[in-house]
Amino acid sequence: MLDDKGVVKDAISSGTMWRGIEVILQGRDPRDAWAFVERICGVCTTVHALASVRAVENAVGIQVPKNADIIRNIMFLTQYVQDHVIHFYHLHALDWVDVVSALKANPAATAALAQKVSPSWPTTSPGYFADIQNTVKKFVDSGQLGIFQNAYWGHPAYKLPPEANLMAVAHYLEALQWQKEIVKIHAVFGGKNPHPNYLVGGVPVSINLNGDNAINMERLNMVHDLIVQAQGIVENLYVPDLLAIASFYPEWTKIGAGLGNYMSYGDVPQNGIGDPSKFLIPRGVILNKNLGEVLPIDHTSASEIQEQVAHSWYDYPGGTKALHPWDGITKPNYTGPKPPYQNLDENGAYSWVKAPRWKGHAMEVGPLARMLVGFASGRSDYKEVVTEALGRLKVGPEALFSTLGRTAARGLETRLAAKWLLDEYNKLIANLKAGDSSTANTTKWAPETWPEDCKGFGPSEAPRGALCHWIHIKDKKIFNYQVVVPSTWNASPKDGDGQKGAYESALLGTPMADSNKPVELMRTIHSFDPCLACATHVLSPEGEELAKVVVR
């Protein structure tokens, strides 16, 4: 809802599809859960499988071999690098880049700009950009913009000069070609992509450096080359483009801050998942933008992580306001209007998304939360990339609390992830050459070795934020299974105390140039990288729908 000056006065976030995977899992073999939960998302497949096997291992007491941890880290970081680059170029860049404006660009001037922005990138000739411009022109002349059709070209909120737009379009296409290459790493270690295989107790691969019937040195050399190629994309294309585009939108360092509460579960273990102090991505909570204090998290405490359903279409037992995931209930109770509907009653239930809270606080999760926790924890690697980026943009740390800060944080995290990816690869090779080829611990594979009744949790950090699976195993079967995903945190509806979720809060105060073309709203929502079928509605103060943006 907008005020009379065109500024967002109120916002609600509604998840309009019921997931229900928790119900499907009840009564099944816990060792199979990863294959089901991996289908929660078509993008974050590998991290759901990872969280699931960790939950089962935590419940029954399995410690995976060192090689398994390293390979899982490689799979995890591969997902990060690919997903973050895709997000910037193919899901978020068109909120800032006017593709049609690229037709007005001078190819020679574009080449000069590209050589300045990305001096180490090879494709920066005038002829190259002239060819890209001709390709875009064919789209426009045909009246069918194809992959570039869903945007508000010519919108007054676009600020890039034509040459910057043409450069960005060219790099969009290059990144599109590249992204299909790096995921071959998932196929090497997981057999396929986008749903690679996992294994309770380790990873489902055997390694023989000189063999023909296992992962050998040839396959590992290919993985190395893909990692080096990815580092080139990140350092010489993605991050330079990100900082160049951001420099034209300084006002967006003051828009979209939202809650000011940030949470990271941490990941990339260096001494097993049970030692978060050694995680490359640190664990912790920041409240009220206070970078002077990072608070600890306990996933097992009934008073810390809870889910509420005051404004969600679920039933909890009478009088129950919040439940820890081990006690969670997934019982649908749809009370909304019959679809298709035009309006939802925000005073009642209006979403299939529950409202998770940490010690009663609504939280933002994702790259910005992780970068802030790393920065506030005093980690030198985090401080280095953050300080360098802030210096190049000529802004202070307060700029991070914004839509642009959220977008920049994803790029800075990708720099770290690409570096860690090569580090993990080198550790794997060193471990294998030292004679350790073990990739699985099967001592507790058989259900008869498990306790009759046990609980476990599997934390991770999906590209979009804090992810955890909680499992209760009883009589060797899944008695209860609960998943709290990043978009549950960020897309949360209001809770029983009226606290808005991260999306709802971040949209407040956003100025809009044209309420019928809400590109400004898309910038903030896309900065979170929503992982659900989402729709944005813009309403007048009288409740009239001015625009509806459906993201498919």
Q: Are 460 and 467 in contact (CB under 8 A)?
A: yes
Domain co-membership, 149 together with 272: no
Asked if residue 416 is part of any domain, the answer here is yes
Same domain membership, residue 157 and residue 169: yes
Indicate whether 49 and 135 sit together in one domain: no
**What was the pLDDT predicted at 515?**
85
127 and 81 together in one domain = no
Q: Are residues 371 and 445 in the same domain?
A: yes
Domain boundary among 129, 146, 179: 179
Residue 158 is assigned to a structural domain of this protein: yes
pLDDT confidence of residue 530? 86
User: What integer pLDDT is reported at residue 367 of this predicted model?
Assistant: 97
Q: What is the per-residue pLDDT for 44? A: 79
Q: 504 and 377 share a domain?
A: yes
- Residues 88 and 119 placed together within one structural domain of the fold: no
Domain count, the chain: 2
Around Cβ 122, how many Cβ atoms within 10 Å?
A: 9
Domain that residue 28 falls in: 21-93+180-323+352-551
Residue 306: φ, ψ to 5°: -140, 155
Angstrom distance (rounded) from CA 416 to CA 440: 28
Nearest to 511 by CA among 373, 363, 403: 403
Is the CA virtual torsion 506, 512, 514, 515 positive or negative?
Answer: positive
Q: Is residue 460 part of a domain?
A: yes
Q: Provide the pLDDT for residue 542.
A: 61
Residues 144 and 191 in one domain: no
Say how far apart CA 255 and CA 507 lie, in whole Å.
Answer: 8
Q: Residue 110 phi/psi, 5° resolution?
A: -65, -40
Residue 213 tokens, joined: 């019937």
Domain boundary among 154, 179, 204: 179
Same domain, 104 and 216: no
Q: Quick one: pLDDT at residue 532?
A: 55
Backbone angles phi, psi at 324, to 5 degrees: -70, 145
Query: Can you tell me whether residue 403 is helix, strand or coil?
Result: helix
155, 79: one domain: no
Show the 3-state SS of 75-108. Answer: HHHHHHHHHHHHHHHHHHHHHCCCCHHHHHCCHH
Paired strand residues for 32: none
Could you tell me if 417 and 535 lie in one domain? yes
CATH number of 511's domain: 1.10.645.10
Domain annotation covers residue 13:
no
Domain boundary among 153, 179, 205: 179
Distance CA(357)–CA(497), nearest Å, equals 11
Q: Is residue 8 a part of any domain in this protein?
A: no
Residue 436 lies in a domain: yes
Distance of CA 49 to the CA centre of its chain: 15
- Amino acid letter, residue 95: D
142, 37: one domain: no
Indicate whether 209 belongs to any domain. yes
Q: What is the mean pLDDT of each run of 10 residues along the chain (552 residues)?
A: 89 88 95 94 87 98 98 98 96 92 96 96 96 90 74 91 97 95 96 94 94 93 98 97 96 96 98 96 98 97 97 92 96 92 91 96 98 97 96 93 97 98 98 96 97 98 97 98 95 96 97 91 93 48 61 48
Return the pLDDT at 536. 41
516 in any annotated domain: yes
CA angle 129–118–281, rounded 5-degree value? 130
Check residue 533 and give its pLDDT: 37
